[in-house]
Amino acid sequence: MTSVILTRRAMLSGGALAGMSALLAACGQQAANEASASASSTTAPSETASASAAASESPSASATPRVTRGYSGNSKAPDGEYRKADEYGPAQNVQEPRKEPAQYPETEQGLYRMMKDWVVAHNYAIQTGDCSYAFKYVTEDAEEYEFYLYIQGLYQRGGWAVDGLDSYQPEGPLIYDEAKKMYRMKHRRFWSTVMYVESNGHLTMKANTDTSDDTFYFLFTYSDGYWKIAGSKSIEEIDS
């Protein structure tokens, strides 16, 4: 999960520069855009480094470039046609999660089914900024809850996320900790890159360049038929 953002090596790659140039070129574009609400800044997750898009990187950018959030693909997608996020705007027509978490049995299969529902809500939050569904699957003290606060604030400020969708694979049995009254299960996270775009032109780019910590333990609680994610721990924290 370790993230390296715009290191010297990354800056020399054509892909990173092309993405930034395209975004800066779009700063002055007046596509049919959504009105954005202002909100106080929420601290991004600790695994984040950032780089500001300097005006000198694009001759068309102003001294204080400001991104206008429009439509991905530079046009409104037809109803029902999914279109992923890009430098022009957030994803369109994203599949909605189920309205409320479902009750599942206190078994591995029950946990798998909850996780499948949660991943849909999680990726929906990343693509739309609507974290109302995802919040219901995590406890308030979980790292994931803080991440959703950040994503929610990003969209409220007029920004959006490009890429960054996650998938997870279970890598071990479901274990119950009697002392902590909590379950844990080893999982592997799969992701490649993500870019968080602020309305003021500030970019936060993350790349999964070190996969050594992509395997970790999710912690879970179970109550009244509902599974919830209660955080995560590294392999070293649990197995040492």
Segments forming the whole domain that contains residue 85:
2-239
CATH code, domain carrying 213: 3.10.450.540
Query: What is the pLDDT confidence band of residue 55, given thresholds at 50, 70 and 90?
Result: very low
pLDDT at 224: 97
Alpha carbon 42 to its chain centroid, in Å, reads 14
Q: Which residue has the higher pLDDT, 161 or 10?
A: 161
CA distances from 53 to 19, 70, 125, 196, 205 (A): 11, 18, 25, 12, 11
pTM of the model: 0.76
Residues forming a β-bridge with 83: 92
In angstroms, the CA 226 to CA 224 distance is 6
pLDDT at 170: 97
Average pLDDT of the chain?
81
Number of domains in the chain: 1
Residue 200 has pLDDT above 80, yes or no: yes
Q: What element of type H or E holds 17?
A: helix 14-25
> Under DSSP, is residue 130 helix (H, G, I), strand (E, B) or coil?
coil
Q: Which residue has the higher pLDDT, 65 or 120?
A: 120
Query: What is the pLDDT confidence band of residue 188, given thresholds at 50, 70 and 90?
Result: very high
